[in-house]
Structure 1
């Protein structure tokens, strides 16, 4: 009986276009436009993007971040515009009316305007003119008000909803993996060490005194996800990751977000790629369904991006080639492409190689599988050929490597031998290896760079413009 009562209270997965708040919150411009017809008296609040005053009429564009274009406000009495300036926060009451313009279906005929917070027009740095992304990074505390960064933020919101929706529909359990860890999952050594600034005594080591050992900020939650796949068949996380990456390219951040997933009872790399492909297709389609205006903002003058988005949601399988085949493709193209780095079997693919494969040769997403053992981490499952491991990277135009994954070594003896060969500290991974002693299963997983996913869909050159507060070598503002 109790269970039946609970079921009566259940609700479906929240829709992205439902506006039902009765909490007394100020309505968003998006909800005002969606819920009200022309002739309705409404109240909006937001920030002035631009204001234009003539003798007999005045216009203002007001945005609150909920829509791409905000709303145009018409002031038949120009005196209503007194004191208005770009950047000011306002509250406006008026009547919705059909708009004769092509940019919006409705506009607001203002009756009363209250200035909540003024902005000095002489010093406010965001004017109606186009600003470069480099300039916007210098005023990071204001750049969310720009159209470009505003569109990125709404896409981030909807993309995260899309990832959660996909995983929940496929019965993954959302889990939380730690930010503090004693291991370096990737083995690259590019970690941030955690130190205390409250020493216990003279000569105490700030790197070890608090936890009794060296501890890092996590690079990946993968190893902890593997622990959880010993109890749950499918798990995923959506966590911050940290990497002491000194690169100054537009592809790297020191603090970023990862979507990572692990699946137990998985013994085929093709199945793992099917999951990854379905995820990318599903999340992209979710954005088309719920954030089309924001995607169009980036794709309307970028034909290659528009074609890529179409390919991502096309039901046709993404291209799949082995690393060996990829090297052959690159070597045959070498004289024409003039690579800076010679493509050679046994070497990692450089960004120029990845870019050629995804942008030029395949002109769309492509999986590259079965890389050489020596250039991949210790946990990957060895292939029968003894030279490669069962892994893949998905390459896409733009950020190049979008995601990486593999089947994991699930045999206790083989994994312990591999860790020993690579010279890991004795006992440091006993907990991880021990998973293979108690009900081990074949399993696999992957990680997606959230910012790179959005970089792919926006066509922006730098990942620094995909995250609200970018942290990278030499830069940690706010």
Structure 2
């Protein structure tokens, strides 16, 4: 028996070559004396035509869409690459009367709800190959970085810490059986635990010992948003770097990561296929813009001033505040406006402390300069940024991490992450550094599940920072797909978690 080769290789094999291929039948074309099968195996978007002149009568019904087949024959290049079949075996028959995956008729929603089948389509096989190529490019880039390797680390999926501080987590109680009526309990760990919202906290623990780390890991958020930009389960590329005191090394590293990945993709088989399948030069121009256009930087305050005419034209209230006076983040449309304005990727920097998480490093001022009371000064900014890409908006968030324990504790207090303080008479300042049972806490205050995170500062730390890139958002941008649901293997979003 000839050794099996991939259909990608069969398409370029010399005429008259004797080969063996395996694949899934995508379509059957029946003629008077021959049956032509359109077959693919996921190695390329281009199928091969397999011509069978003497099909066995018992196989007729299974020479149909969905069946898996092994074919032996000779390559023919008379018109287009094809295989003149000498012998074949139906490996896995599919019922032609009930096979659900009619490629010409099934909607994206049907495919998203049946991801165990959609990988059989040429487009989704290409997406999977492209995703693999991006991971390979990232691994190569981090391994060969000029400053020394970044070490890939594997971080926990179950956690006690809700790093987002909101009600967007999936709790992880246990049950003794899989019966629907089985009682859910929290006794396995002794208390409630959650599926990890982000790897950013645990990455800080690793960077204290390894200096430069990266991880690509799943995250879960129970957001109620029903958009093409949100998933309940997705992957994050998290990078952490030790011994940095400004944002410049992070800006440079992000550009290196994305530019280096795109450069490698241009030379990859999957990357070339994606560009060829796009049907126009728009996707190539998007890649070229990442590679060659100067990436702009603008502070949150500058962006707010730039957006004032846009907001006024829409009847929005002046400034970046809600009706109650609280600072508000930019909308998706405003992020896209900034990218269109500069016609390039944009680093949006120095977010107000009020709309950034407590671990973001506070800018400029020391804790003694902050006004008294539990509120956060609206003028206080952070050494934090987002990366916005044209047409999609935010794709990456990062910055310096607050390494000063006293400032961290005070910020946690102001953001209501501590328990035990009095809402009527909140403390104006931190307790002394030798406060018991924990430095800078007042009597009755508790760090709750974040004591280990504060310990990273208490027991010696250093200036450090990092960033997280939404992996599906990056793939969505580089492939020009309609939705994030297209680029993840098994999409989970509100109402859908089928298999």
1:253: Cα distance to partner?
0.9
Q: Which residue of 1 aligns with 2:115?
A: 140
Aligned-CA RMSD value: 2.6
Q: Does 1:420 align with 2:413?
A: yes
Q: 2:222 aligns with which of 244, 258, 265?
A: 244
Aligned pair count reads: 441
- Matches of 1:384 and 1:163 in 2, distance apart? 34
- Matches of 1:31 and 1:457 in 2, distance apart? 26
State the secondary structure of the residue aligned to 2:102.
Answer: coil
Deviates more, 1:361-370 or 1:217-226: 361-370
1:49: Cα distance to partner?
1.1
Q: Which residue of 1 aligns with 2:428?
A: none
State the secondary structure of the residue aligned to 2:14.
Answer: coil
1:262: Cα distance to partner?
0.3
Q: Which residue of 2 aligns with 1:331?
A: 308
| Alpha carbons 1:195, 1:207 under 8 Å: kept | yes
Q: Does 1:407 align with 2:428?
A: no
Which sections of structure 1, spanning at least 5 residues, go unmatched? Answer: 1-23, 200-204
| Alpha carbons 1:193, 1:207 under 8 Å: kept | no
Q: 1:169 aligns with which of 122, 139, 144?
A: 144
Which sections of structure 2, spanning at least 5 residues, go unmatched? Answer: 178-182, 322-326, 366-378, 419-445
Q: Which residue of 2 aligns with 1:15?
A: none
1:333: Cα distance to partner?
3.4
Change over 3 Å in CA distance of 1:39–1:313 after alignment to 2: farther
1:341: Cα distance to partner?
8.5
Q: Which residue of 2 aligns with 1:361?
A: 341
| Alpha carbons 1:191, 1:216 under 8 Å: kept | yes
- Matches of 1:54 and 1:194 in 2, distance apart? 57
Q: 1:382 aligns with which of 350, 362, 379?
A: 362
Q: 1:344 aligns with which of 317, 320, 326?
A: 320
State the secondary structure of the residue aligned to 2:116.
Answer: coil
TM-score w.r.t. structure 2 length?
0.81
Q: Does 1:282 align with 2:260?
A: yes
Change over 3 Å in CA distance of 1:402–1:45 after alignment to 2: same
State the secondary structure of the residue aligned to 1:230.
Answer: helix
1:446: Cα distance to partner?
0.7
Change over 3 Å in CA distance of 1:317–1:397 after alignment to 2: closer
Cα shift readout 1:325-345 (whole Å, capped 9, x = no counterpart): 222222233466x48887626
1:56: Cα distance to partner?
5.1
1:263: Cα distance to partner?
0.3
Change over 3 Å in CA distance of 1:138–1:174 after alignment to 2: closer
1:136: Cα distance to partner?
2.0
| Alpha carbons 1:37, 1:96 under 8 Å: kept | yes
Q: 2:161 aligns with which of 169, 176, 183?
A: 183
Q: Does 1:222 align with 2:200?
A: yes
Q: Which residue of 2 aligns with 1:233?
A: 211
Change over 3 Å in CA distance of 1:118–1:233 after alignment to 2: same
- Matches of 2:318 and 2:390 in 1, distance apart? 21
| Alpha carbons 1:253, 1:470 under 8 Å: kept | yes
Q: Does 1:73 align with 2:50?
A: yes
